[in-house]
Amino acid sequence: MSAEEHIPSYSIRPRFQVESAVRPDALVACIKARLETSKNQCQGVTAVKYALLTVPERERHFWSPHLTITIEEADHGSLVRGLYSPAPMAWTMFVFFYTVIGGLMLGVIFFGLSMYSLNKPLTIFWWLLPLGLLFLTIYLVAYFGQKAGRSQMGNLHSFIEACLGQNI
């Protein structure tokens, strides 16, 4: 089974959680060592109980994922949590568009309900159709964008699996 098959087919920000027998400090040291020796697979930074993994610069594009790893101490080793997310610029752009479109839709609904209470024509409600289509279009762009970065997400997943020494 490939690393890509372990990741949900579509989730806005896929995540995983796994327990490891390796202590947190040893796990961070392993990630740091692998980052230094395998720059072709991924790049990243580490800190105490934290790692941020990215795709190598030459392979990076707008849809390239990031993998944020947090490591907590557990009874018999460590608890590793991973969160895949788009580049901060892409994430901010989509949140902005969703917020603007959602705000416009609410404005149209409130204005339309005001017109309804005054027994005025309700033609403003026609704006909900193009706004809804725009919302759907942005959702589909995000969906296909995540598909464009799926193989890179699999590479990041393989990297962390190799550091943990287990399939997740």
* Tens digit of each residue's pLDDT (9 = 90 or more) over 60-102: 999 999 999 999 998 888 999 999 988 888 889 999 999 999 9
128's CB contacts (< 8 A; 6+ apart) are 105, 108, 109
What's the distance, CA 60 to chain centroid?
15
Lowest mean pLDDT across 24-28, 37-41, 142-146:
37-41
| Lookup: tokens for 132 | 């809804």
Amino acid identity of 89? M
Name the pLDDT band for 4 (thresholds 50, 70, 90): low
Please state, in angstroms and rounded to a whole number, the distance separating the CA atoms of residues 25 and 47: 10
> What pLDDT sits at residue 1?
45
Whether 55 and 156 have beta carbons less than 8 Å apart is answered as: yes
- Give the gyration radius of the chain's Cα atoms: 22
| Lookup: tokens for 101 | 């479109």
Residue 15 DSSP symbol: E
Give tens-digit pLDDT for 89-138.
888 999 999 999 999 999 999 999 999 999 999 999 999 999 999 999 99
Q: What is the mean pLDDT of the chain?
A: 89
Whether 71 and 50 have beta carbons less than 8 Å apart is answered as: yes
Overall pTM surpassing 0.85 (yes/no):
no
**Got the DSSP string for 61-106?**
-TT-EEEEEEEEEETTEEEEEEEEEE-HHHHHHHHHHHHHHHHHHH
Cα–Cα distances in Å, from 19 out to 49, 76, 94, 108, 121?
Answer: 14, 9, 33, 48, 60
**In this prediction, what percent of the chain has a pLDDT beyond 90?**
58
Residue 10: pLDDT above 80? no
